C-alpha cells in the first residue's frame, strides 16, 4: 500500500452547509484558488442539483483551478448524477461523489427501505456515474453507525460496480478512535476487492474526535482524508485539514506523505474565516491566535533557550510570522529582557529588575503589554501625542431606524468628522472611521467581553485588523461598549499607521 495520503477538501461543500457561511461564486473561486496553492488533491466544489448557485460554482471552479480533482456530490439518484456530470464538464479531472445511507437508522427510518434494496440502489448509482466519468467515489452515509458485516457487503458491491474511492463517513460523529479504526481495518481484511479502491475517511466532530478518528482510519488503511479548513462543517464541524496534515508532518515515524504546502495554512485559514464570517477560536490547534503564543514565565524561558522545549511545530512552517512570546503578568524576566533586546534596549541586571517591577504592576491592570508600553517602562516614552485620538462619537440606533454614527477624530492634529450608516451601530462607527482614514484594512475579529457581571460595568473590546497580510490588534475598555469599540479600532489602526 502506498504511503501517500490524499487530501480531499470539502470546505466548499460540507463546510459551506453551515448556516451563515454561504459564499457566492466569486468567493468560492477565491477559496478554491487558495486551496490549489495549499496543494490539496481534491476539492469538493458543491452539490450541483441542490441549487443553480451550487451548479454554477462547480462549473466556475472547474474552469478556475487545474491541479486538484474537482468533485461534485450527488444522492444515489440518476437526475443528481446527470446534473453533477454536466457541472463537471470543464474539469480537467472530474469526480462524482454519490452514495446512500447504510445504517439501520438510514435504511429503515430515513429511506424506508431494506438492506438488499440499498445495495441495489448503490450499485446502480455507481454504474450510472461511471458512464460520465472514470473517477467515482461512493459514500456509505452514517457508516459510523452501520454494521461492519453489512458495510463490507455494500463496499464490495460498489467497488465491483466501478467505485474508485470508498468513503466511510462517521456522519454523526459517534465513533471512538479505536472503533473507527477497527471499522476501516475490518473493511481492509474482509472486502475481497478492497485493493481496487482507495478508502476515504469523512469524520464529524460531535464528540471532539474527528481528527483522532481520521488518523485512526489512516493508520488502519485509509489513504484519503476528507477535511475542511478550520474544521468548518455542520454542527460541531468536520475534521480539520490543518490538524491532520500537521499531525502527519510531526509524526515522521508514521511515514505518511501529504503534498501540502504547510506555509499556506494560516493564509488559507484566514481567508476562509473572513469570507465565511466564522472567527477561529483563539485556542484552535494550529491556526488559533494563541496556538503558538507562550505567556507563562517558565514556558517563555524554555522557548527562548530552545524553541523545541515547548513547541512541536515551528510556527513559520504553517505561515505564522508573529512573535510567539506574549508579555503578560505571568511573564518572567527572561521574556521581558528578550523583548527589550528585540526593541534595541540592552539593559544591565539592575535596570532590568527595576523595569520588571513596574512591568508587573502594569501587567496586572492590562491584558497584554505592548511594545509601546515597554518603551514607556524603560523611560523612552515617545513624546509626541498619539496620532489618532477619538474626539467625539454620536450614535443613533434603535428598533426601527437605520443605525448611523458620527465620529470626530483628531488625526495628526486635524479635527475631522464623518458620518456613516451601517448594519449596526458598531459597523456604522467603523465605516465612518474608514471614511476619515481610508486604509485597506479587513476586520478579522471583533470580540466584546464584560469585565464584571453588571450591565453598568466596564466592557472590553478586542479588534483584529488585517493590513498587507499582517494582523494588528487593538484594545479598548469603557462603560460604553461603542466607545470601547471605537477606541479598540483606532488602537489597531494607529499601530498600522
Ligand atoms: O457526513 C456525511 O455523511 C456526508 C456525506 C454526504 C459524504 O457529508
Ligand atoms: Zn459530512
All domains in the chain, ordered by first residue: 6-276 (3.20.20.70), 293-377 (no CATH), 388-496 (3.30.160.270)
pLDDT higher than threshold 80 for residue 459: no
Lowest-pLDDT range, 62-76, 239-253, 360-374?
360-374
pLDDT higher than threshold 60 for residue 451: no
pLDDT of residue 381: 44
Residue 50 has which C-alpha cell? 441542490
Judged on CB neighbours under 10 Å (0-12, 13-18, 19+), 196 is middle
pLDDT of residue 454: 56
With a 6 A CB cut-off, is 339 part of the ligand 1 pocket?
Answer: no
Cβ burial 457-469 (10 Å sphere, 16+ → b, else e) = eebbbbbbbbbee
Q: What is the pLDDT of residues 200-221, one digit of tens each?
A: 999 999 999 999 999 999 999 9
With a 6 A CB cut-off, is 68 part of the ligand 1 pocket?
Answer: no
With a 6 A CB cut-off, is 220 part of the ligand 1 pocket?
Answer: no
Give the number of other CB atoms < 10 A from CB of residue 217.
28
pLDDT of residue 326: 86
Mean pLDDT over 437-442 rounds to: 90
Q: What is the distance between the alpha carbons of residues 101 and 80, in angstroms, rounded to a whole number?
A: 16
Q: What is the CA radius of gyration of the chain?
A: 27
Q: What is the pLDDT of residues 262-320, one digit of tens each?
A: 999 999 999 999 999 899 998 999 999 889 888 788 888 888 888 888 889 999 999 98
Neighbours of ion ligand 2 (CB under 5 A): 14
Q: Confidence class of residue 144 from pLDDT cuts 50, 70 and 90?
A: very high
Mean pLDDT over 72-91 rounds to: 98
Q: What is the pLDDT of residues 362-418, one digit of tens each?
A: 888 777 787 777 877 887 544 445 678 899 999 999 888 999 999 999 988 889 999
With a 6 A CB cut-off, is 206 part of the ligand 1 pocket?
Answer: no
Q: Which residue has the cell 478508502?
A: 199
pLDDT higher than threshold 80 for residue 65: yes
pLDDT of residue 396: 93
Lowest-pLDDT range, 36-45, 349-358, 384-393?
384-393
pLDDT of residue 169: 98
With a 6 A CB cut-off, is 14 part of the ligand 1 pocket?
Answer: yes
Total residue length of the chain = 497
The percent of residues in the chain predicted with pLDDT above 90, rounded, is 68
Q: Take atom 1 of ligand 1 and give the residue whose Cα is closest.
A: 171
Residue 383 has which C-alpha cell? 513624546
Q: Take atom 6 of ligand 1 and give the residue whose Cα is closest.
A: 141
Instruction: Specify the pTM.
Output: 0.77
Q: What is the distance between the alpha carbons of residues 245 and 476, in angstroms, rounded to a whole number?
A: 37
Residue 63 has which C-alpha cell? 474552469
Centroid of ligand 2 to alpha carbon of 41 (angstroms): 18
Centroid of ligand 2 to alpha carbon of 207 (angstroms): 14
Of residues 496 and 74, more confidence is placed in: 74
The percent of residues in the chain predicted with pLDDT above 70, rounded, is 96
pLDDT of residue 361: 83
With a 6 A CB cut-off, is 171 part of the ligand 1 pocket?
Answer: yes
Q: Confidence class of residue 458 from pLDDT cuts 50, 70 and 90?
A: low
Q: What is the distance between the alpha carbons of residues 126 and 163, in angstroms, rounded to a whole number?
A: 6
Amino acid at each position: 500500500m502506498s504511503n501517500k495520503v490524499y487530501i480531499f477538501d470539502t470546505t466548499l461543500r460540507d463546510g459551506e452547509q453551515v448556516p451563515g457561511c454561504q459564499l457566492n461564486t466569486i468567493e468560492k473561486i477565491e477559496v478554491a484558488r487558495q486551496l490549489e496553492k495549499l496543494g490539496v488533491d481534491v476539492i469538493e466544489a458543491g452539490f450541483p442539483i441542490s441549487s443553480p448557485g451550487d451548479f454554477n460554482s462547480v462549473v466556475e471552479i472547474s474552469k478556475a483551478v487545474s491541479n486538484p480533482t474537482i468533485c461534485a456530490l450527488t444522492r444515489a439518484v440518476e437526475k443528481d448524477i446527470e446534473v453533477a456530470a454536466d457541472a463537471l464538464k470543464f474539469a480537467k479531472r472530474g469526480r462524482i461523489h454519490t452514495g446512500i445511507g447504510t445504517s439501520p437508522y438510514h435504511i429503515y427510518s430515513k429511506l424506508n427501505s431494506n438492506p438488499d434494496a440499498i445495495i441495489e440502489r448503490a450499485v446502480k448509482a455507481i454504474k450510472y456515474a461511471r458512464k460520465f466519468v472514470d473517477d467515482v467515489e461512493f459514500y456509505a452515509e452514517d457508516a459510523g453507525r452501520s454494521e461492519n458485516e453489512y458495510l463490507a457487503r455494500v463496499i464490495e458491491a460498489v467497488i465491483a460496480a466501478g467505485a474508485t474511492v470508498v468513503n466511510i463517513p462517521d456522519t454523526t460523529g459517534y465513533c471512538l478512535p479505536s472503533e473507527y479504526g477497527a471499522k476501516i481495518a475490518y473493511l481492509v481484511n474482509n472486502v475481497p476487492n478492497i485493493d481496487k479502491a482507495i478508502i476515504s475517511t469523512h469524520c464529524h466532530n460531535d464528540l471532539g474526535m474527528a481528527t483522532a478518528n481520521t488518523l485512526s482510519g489512516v493508520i488502519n488503511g485509509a489513504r484519503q482524508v476528507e477535511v475542511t479548513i478550520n474544521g468548518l462543517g455542520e454542527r460541531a464541524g468536520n475534521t480539520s485539514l490543518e490538524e491532520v496534515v500537521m499531525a502527519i508532518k510531526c509524526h515522521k515515524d508514521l511515514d505518511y506523505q501529504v503534498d501540502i504546502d504547510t506555509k499556506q495554512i494560516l493564509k488559507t485559514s484566514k481567508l476562509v474565516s473572513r469570507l465565511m464570517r466564522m472567527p477561529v477560536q483563539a485556542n484552535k490547534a494550529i491556526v488559533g491566535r494563541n496556538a503558538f503564543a507562550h505567556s507563562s514565565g517558565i514556558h517563555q524561558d524554555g522557548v527562548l533557550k530552545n524553541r523545541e522545549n515547548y513547541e512541536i511545530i515551528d510556527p513559520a512552517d504553517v505561515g505564522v510570522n508573529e512573535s510567539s512570546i506574549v508579555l503578560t503578568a505571568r511573564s518572567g524576566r527572561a521574556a521581558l529582557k528578550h523583548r527589550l533586546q528585540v526593541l534595541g534596549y540592552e539593559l544591565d541586571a539592575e535596570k532590568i529588575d527595576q523595569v520588571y517591577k513596574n512591568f508587573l504592576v502594569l501587567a496586572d491592570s492590562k491584558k497584554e503589554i505592548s511594545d509601546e508600553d515597554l518603551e514607556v517602562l524603560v523611560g523612552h516614552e515617545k513624546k509626541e501625542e498619539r496620532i489618532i485620538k477619538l474626539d467625539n462619537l454620536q450614535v443613533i440606533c434603535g428598533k426601527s431606524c437605520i443605525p448611523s454614527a458620527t465620529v470626530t477624530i483628531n488625526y495628526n492634529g486635524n479635527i475631522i468628522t464623518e458620518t456613516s450608516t451601517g448594519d449596526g451601530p458598531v459597523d456604522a462607527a467603523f465605516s465612518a472611521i474608514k471614511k476619515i482614514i481610508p486604509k485597506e484594512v479587513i476586520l478579522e475579529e471583533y470580540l466584546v467581553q464584560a469585565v464584571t457581571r453588571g450591565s453598568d460595568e466596564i466592557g472590553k473590546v478586542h479588534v483584529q485588523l488585517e493590513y498587507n497580510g499582517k494582523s494588528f490588534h487593538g484594545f479598548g475598555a469603557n462603560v460604553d461598549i461603542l466607545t470601547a469599540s471605537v477606541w479598540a479600532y483606532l488602537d489597531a489602526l494607529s499601530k498600522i499607521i
